[in-house]
Every structure is written in structure tokens, then in C-alpha cells.
Amino acid sequence: MSKLPVAPEPLSSPVFDSHCHLDIMVGNRQASSGDPVAQAAQAASATVRSILDDARAVGVTRLVTIGYDLPSSRWNADVAAQQEGVYAGVAIHPNEAHASTPEVLAEIEALAGRPEVRAVGETGLDYYRDWASKDDQHASFRAHVEIAKRTGKALVIHDREAHDDVLRVLAEEGAPEKVVFHSYSGDAEMAKKCVEAGYFMSFSGPVTYKNAGYLREAAEVAPPELMLVETDAPYLPPVPHRGKPNAPYLIPLTLRCLAEVKGVHPDRLCEAISANGVTVFGEW
């Protein structure tokens, strides 16, 4: 597919993608007409196999595929059960929070108990979109915090324009042992709060964007022991592929940007992130 980004130079030390959506990439879920990136990803007709092969060819040897509603969570958990090097997250996304009924949450908790499911997410708060009311979002987020604590799985947080409330809810509920801010979008000040609380910050494509200096400042603050890297594929491709579908094989571009910001060799950052992966998601 000529429209797809070319593969970057392979990493010399392996790393993993802490957050992507295999089901959207392979077209298991129909992309909405208002979602050109997901449509383009699906037009590329990738398969789980080809996505994993492309990723491994550049040193991205493992990934976490993340659910956003009940069918998506089930699908991702099943794929993780079948595929070596794949773990899943299960949750109801804040944009779907109105769907978080007690019955649905009970099913999410049952899925979260499966061995190949290593995260409760993505959950959190999204004040950019008003698809679900704030009340529904808060109730759903708090319920997911409790599920993460009961199951001992990592809490993977979607925080869009809701930094203060996300931090407040975590403090009020008592944060689970392992907390990840997915596609970290805060500034350096917030990064300091995350460091203090021991929350992991997972950096995605936007850290490479010219106008996102605040994200690079946050990455400077974040110690390697609390950093993760992700694609959020098929969304948020790194420079120079903005507007095209993202995939785990583009992780090296974001990783190298982070290494440059940190002033460390990419291999060292890959090693730190891989170790963090074991801390957060367990042995692979």
C-alpha cells in the first residue's frame, strides 16, 4: 500500500507498544464515516498477523491491545489469548460511559480476571467530547478504579482535557498500585504530580509534533522508570506521518524522539521501558 508510512529503521533493543487498538486497525469494528484515519487503516486490510510481523521487524516485539466497549474488550482479550506477545486491556471508554451498567461492569470485571488481560482500560474522563455526561463518566471511571484494585491489574487512563479531575478522583478513590496515563497529554507541572504519585506516563505520536513542546517538557521531567511508549494506533501517528494510519511498527519514531529529549541512547530507553512493561503488565 503506497499510502502507508514506510517502516522506520529498526530499533537495536526491543521495546513494546503499551496501547493500540487491533480491532479498529483490522476492521473488526466498522470505522464511522467521520473517522478518516480508522477508515484508512481498514482500507490497508492489515491482519493481526501482519501487524505483529511488521512490528517485530523493527524491534517492537510485544503490544497491549485496548478495549473501549464490551464487544471490543472481549475481542481484544480473545486475540491476546491466542497470540504470543499480546496482552489486552478491557474497559468501557469514557465516551461510552452511559453504557457502564452494573451488568456490563460485571462482565468487564470477569474479563479483567483472565490471565491474558493485564489492564483495566481505557477508562478515565474526556471533557473534549460530550458523548457521555460528566456524571456518567465519573461513575464509570470510579467503578473501573475499583475493578483494577480488585483484580490487581494496571489502570490505563484516558485523560482528555480533564487532568485535575482525573488526579482528584484517583486521590479520592485511592489509586490502584499500577496507574498509566495513556497518550500522556499533560504538561511538565502535571508530570511532577505523576512522578510524586508514582504514575506511569505513556508517550505517543504527539510528543513528536512541532507544536507540542509542552509534551517534550513533560518527557524531560518524567524519569525513565515511569515512562512507557505507545501508538494508540490507528490514531496519532508520529511525525512525519501525520494524517496517515498509525501502527505499532511506527513506535521507533516516537521512541527516538523521547531518547533525544532525555539525552539517552535509544537502547537504554528501550531497556527501561521494557522493564517498566514487566512492572506494569507483568511477565510476558
Binding site per annotation, positions? 19, 21, 122, 158, 182, 232
Contact call for residues 215 and 184 (beta carbons, < 8 A): yes
**Least spacing, CB of residue 84 vs Zn ion, in Å:** 22
Please check whether residue 154 is in contact with residue 178, taking contact to mean a CB–CB distance below 8 angstroms.
yes
User: Quick one: which segment of 42-50, 186-194, 212-220, 225-233 binds Zn ion (CB under 5 A)?
Assistant: 225-233
CB of 253 to Zn ion, least distance (A): 18
Give dist(CA 70, CA 109) in Å, integer: 11
28-36, 50-58, 232-240, 269-277 -> range binding Zn ion (CB under 5 A): 232-240
Query: For residues 278 and 153, what is the distance between their CA atoms, to the nearest angstrom?
Result: 12
- Judged by CB under 5 A, does residue 17 bind Zn ion? no
Q: Which is nearer to Zn ion, 17 or 109 (CB)?
A: 17
Out of 125, 201, 232, 255, point to the residue binding Zn ion (CB under 5 A).
232
Size of the site for Zn ion (CB under 5 A): 1
Residue 66 beta carbon to Zn ion: minimum distance, rounded to whole angstroms? 5
**Cell numbers at residue 151, please?**
483484580
- The runs of H, that is alpha helices, within 65-187 are 70-82, 102-112, 134-151, 163-173
- Give the nearer residue to Zn ion in terms of CB position, either 162 or 221: 162
> What pairs with residue 126 in β-bridges?
160
Task: Rule CB under 5 A: say whether 109 interacts with Zn ion.
Answer: no
Residue type at 184?
Answer: Y
Single-letter amino acid code for the residue at 160: R
Q: Which residues bind Zn ion (CB under 5 A)?
A: 232
